[in-house]
Amino acid sequence: MWGVMLLLMALISESGAAILYDQFVLKHLRFAVWDPSLDEVEKSWRDATAAPDPELGWPPPSLAHMAPYDASGAKDNPDFPDPARACASAYGDSFVWGDEVPLTEGWIEQLSRLIHCRISNYAVTGYGTDQAFIRFRRNADEAAPVILLGIYAQDVMRNVNQYRAFIGFGITPHEVKGRFVLDEKNSLKWIPRPQLDRARFIELNSDPARIVPQDALLPGGDYGPVVRRFSFTWTLLSLELARLRGRPLPIAAFLNENDPSQAFALTLALVKSFRDLAQQRHKKLLVVMLPDAVSLRNKRRSGSFEYDRLRDRIGALGIATFDVGPGLLSARTGKSYCDLFARPNCEGHYSVEGDRLVAGIMASELARRGFLPTALR
């Protein structure tokens, strides 16, 4: 009798867990659980007709010089279309590219208009510092004398990730990249992007550790999404345990310089390599820290940005570094900063107004540092 009752309770619990998983987890916590369907994987492979970049993954080379990019591979800038006349170039992710606003209204494009010269925008949505560095390394003939490297807190996590699907993005063969690791001398060592055919792409999604063993965000690992098991109840318990540990996708852990992932140390090494290459090319580098709404909230509540230690350690290497965050908060003293972001729930990328404010802050900082052409100071 007791056995029947326990079995009945287990079945009721599992049924409730299945409903909660389907109606809540898959809709609101999709990034936290790894549960790709074979049909989704197969369809993604069939739909991916353009060959991926052999190192960076995206954008595909066949699309890298088509709209919204110009012939140089930078973001199209109709106000200043000539790449040969750039006074600066910019690298980074979507916060540098200018997601969620019209193409001409990102802060780089607004900054170009303020200082009356082209800033070639080589940022790519979803890039880590590693991909930004490779993109800069490839642009050996780019003439701009000043380089802006934007860093957003999540870039540190991206530097130890190879497959974007592990951090909540789509199942697609294009969004698989190589990555750097640190060798025994703390020098950068490149781990190539895995070669994928249909069978290996399926294996990447069914048994990821066999294809990208160096990815710090492997599902079921210390940092990656929870793997859905045979039991919905067990999966939900695993998700709650992960949440209590600040997992998955623990940005705070990656920003800790003692974390075993070495994400912090790797990011420092990448920025240093960026600086060294800029010096070899006789260019000035300015690292720009770009806060999101979470960063501004942390600052108001605790008095510090989550990336403070990273910013300070970059500066300690003798690398010119500037944090946009204090200027944004100063402009919104005593009131909400949510109008600086594109989504009504105070999330997402900078709004047109936020980009306008960043552009103004950056124009003043570039002038203060003497990074503008003489005629523009």
pTM of the model: 0.91
Q: What pLDDT sits at residue 49?
A: 87
Q: What pLDDT sits at residue 373?
A: 75
Q: What pLDDT sits at residue 374?
A: 60
Mean pLDDT of the chain, nearest integer: 90
Q: What pLDDT sits at residue 210?
A: 97
pLDDT band of residue 237 (cuts 50, 70, 90) is low
Q: What pLDDT sits at residue 227?
A: 79
178 pLDDT above the threshold of 50: yes
Q: What pLDDT sits at residue 93?
A: 98
Q: Which residues contact 95 (CB under 8 A, 6 or more apart)?
A: 123, 150, 152, 290, 292, 349, 350
State pLDDT tens for residues 340-368: 999 999 999 999 999 999 999 999 999 99
Domain map of the chain by residue range? 65-157+261-376
110 pLDDT above the threshold of 90: yes
Arithmetic mean of pLDDT, 247-259: 86
Q: What pLDDT sits at residue 242?
A: 62
Q: What is the distance of C-alpha 87 from the center of its chain?
A: 26
What angle do the packed helices 198-206 and 38-47 form, to 10 degrees? Answer: 140
Q: How far apart are CA 66 and CA 110, in angstroms?
A: 22
CB 74 within 8 A of CB 120: yes
35 pLDDT above the threshold of 60: yes
Arithmetic mean of pLDDT, 332-337: 93
Output the six-digit token pair for 171: 């199942």
The strand ranges marked E within 73-116 are: 86-91
Torsion, Cα 34 38 42 43, to 10 degrees, reads -80
- Of 200, 177, 173, 212, which Cα lies nearest the Cα of 46? 173
pLDDT band of residue 225 (cuts 50, 70, 90) is confident
Arithmetic mean of pLDDT, 228-241: 62
Arithmetic mean of pLDDT, 80-84: 94
Q: What pLDDT sits at residue 7?
A: 45
Which CATH homologous superfamily contains domain 65-157+261-376?
Answer: SGNH hydrolase (3.40.50.1110)
